[in-house]
Amino acid sequence: MKQSFKQSGLAGVFTVLLTLLSACSSGGQGAGSGAKPAAEDPNQAAVRELVVGLSLDTLLEERWKKDRDLFKAAVEKLGAKVDVQAANGDDAKQIAQAENMISKHVDVLVVVPHDAQVSAAIVAKAHQAGVKVISYDRLILNADVDLYVSFDNEKVGELQAEALVSKVPRGNYVLIEGADTDNNAHMFKRGQMKVLQPLVDRGDIQIVYDQFTKEWKPVNALANMKTALAANRDAIDAVIAANDGTAGGVVGALAERRLAGTTPVTGMDAELAAAQRIVEGTQTMTVYKPIRKLAETAAALAVQMAEGKKVSTDKTVFNKKIDVPAILLEPIAVNRTNIDATIIADGFHSREDVYRNVDN
- What's residue 359's pLDDT? 61
Q: Are strands 332-335 and 285-288 parallel, antiparallel or unpaired?
A: antiparallel
Given this model, what pLDDT does residue 170 score? 98
Are 253 and 295 contained in the same domain? Answer: no
pLDDT for the residue 21: 41
Query: Do 274 and 319 have their domain in common?
Result: no
What is d(CA 277, CA 287) in angstroms, rounded to the nearest whole number? 14
Are residues 303 and 285 part of one domain?
no
Note the pLDDT tens digit of each residue in 58-106. 999 888 999 999 999 999 999 999 999 999 999 999 999 999 999 999 9
- Give the whole-angstrom CA distance, residue 103 versus residue 106: 8
Domain of residue 216: give its range.
153-289+333-359
On whether both 109 and 203 belong to a single domain, the answer is: no
**Whole-structure pTM value:** 0.80
Q: What are the pLDDT digits (tens) for 295-352? A: 999 999 999 999 999 999 999 999 999 999 999 999 999 999 999 999 999 999 999 9
18-27, 47-56, 316-325 — most confident range: 316-325
**Could you tell me the pLDDT band of residue 9, with boundaries at 50, 70 and 90?**
very low
What is residue 328's three-state secondary structure? strand
Write out pLDDT tens, residues 191-234. Answer: 999 999 999 999 999 999 999 999 999 999 999 999 999 999 99
Q: For the chain, how many structural domains are there in total?
A: 2
Distance CA 175, CA 140 (A): 24
Report yes or no on 39 lying in a domain. no
3-state SS record for 84-103: EEECCCCHHHHHHHHHHHHH
The answer on 197 and 340 residing in a single domain is yes
d(C-alpha 235, C-alpha 336), whole Å: 25
**Lowest-pLDDT range of 10-24, 111-125, 244-258:** 10-24
> Residue 188 maps to which CATH number?
3.40.50.2300
What does the pLDDT read at residue 48? 74
**Residue 1 pLDDT greater than 90, yes or no:** no
Residue 194 CA to residue 201 CA, distance in Å, equals: 12
Asked if residue 3 is part of any domain, the answer here is no
Q: How many CB atoms lie within 10 A of CB 117?
A: 15
Q: What is the mean pLDDT of residues 1-23?
A: 42
Within this chain, do residues 238 and 296 fall inside the same structural domain, yes or no? no
* Beta carbons of 184 and 229 less than 8 angstroms apart: no
Q: Using an 8 Å Cβ cutoff, are 56 and 87 in contact?
A: yes
Q: Say yes or no: 157 and 223 in one domain.
A: yes
Confidence of residue 19 (pLDDT cuts 50, 70, 90): very low
Q: Is 325 helix (H, G, I), strand (E, B) or coil?
A: strand
- The pLDDT assigned to 46 comes to 52
Length of the chain: 360
What is residue 360's predicted lDDT score, i.e. its pLDDT? 55
Handedness of CA 303, 182, 60, 355 (dihedral sign): negative
Sheet strand arrangement including 147-151: 81-86, 51-56, 108-111, 132-136, 147-151, 323-329, 315-318
Q: At what angle do helices 62-77 and 291-306 cross, to 10 degrees?
A: 40
pLDDT-above-70 percentage for the chain? 86
Is there a single domain that holds both residue 297 and residue 355? no
Together in a domain, 196 and 130 = no
Residues near 356 by beta carbon (within 8 Å), at least 6 away in sequence: 276
CB atoms within 10 A of CB 162: 18
Residue 268 confidence (pLDDT): 97
**Strand intervals (E) in 177-231:** 205-211
Q: Is the pLDDT of residue 7 over 80?
A: no
- Is residue 145's pLDDT more than 60? yes
- Over range 121-136, report the average pLDDT: 98
Mean pLDDT for 42-55 is 74
